[in-house]
Amino acid sequence: IKVSCKGVENNKGYFMKADGAKRVMDAMKKYDGSDANVLGEACFVVNVMCKFDDFRKEMSSAHENAKTFNLLGVIPALLRITDYSLKDENTRLAVAAMNGVRVLAVNDEIVQSIVACGLLKRVKVMLDKFDNGEIDQLFLVSNSFVNTMTQTPVVAQLLPLEPSDDKELKHH
């Protein structure tokens, strides 16, 4: 699915019309930690379906797909997968789940849903891990809105703080 839908808007439409989002959600809800590969693929499908990447088309269904996944409850499922995978030290799966959350943040309603599901609590956990020396660096990965057709991924290092070249800040 991820191969046939990545970069092909028509295939994304066929997948969504065939209740593909519901099937992905069913797989995510059954997660017990035993089949991380299947779950990683499900997270990647969410990422593919909710990202505009077919530049041959003028319009994208990515926004509508994100709203559909949100209505089906994908955000709590992705955050639950993140929690379980971090406990199992499966960083690859945690990143796949958080990438799914990242591409879903297409409107205020979905962002509020992400916050309501406890994303900030997870950020606090990561800040505590940095303070305790369990991790060396902390990055924020987000989208930079260019226009309705394009969002550019942005990676910013949060911790440790990078020294600033700003002359006004040198005295601090």
Write a three-state SS string for 131-166.
HCCCCCCEEEEEEEEEECCEEEEEEEEEECCCCCCC
- For the segment 15-58, what is each residue's pLDDT rounded down to a tens digit? 999 999 999 999 888 766 668 888 899 999 999 999 877 777 77
- What is the pTM assigned to this prediction? 0.74
Residue given tokens 């997270």 in the structure block = 43
pLDDT of residue 33: 61
CB atoms within 10 A of CB 10: 12
Those residues of the chain that have pLDDT short of 50 are none
Asked if residue 161 lies in contact with residue 142, where contact means CB atoms within 8 angstroms, the answer is no
Look at residues 100, 102, 118 and name the one whose alpha carbon lies nearest to residue 25: 100
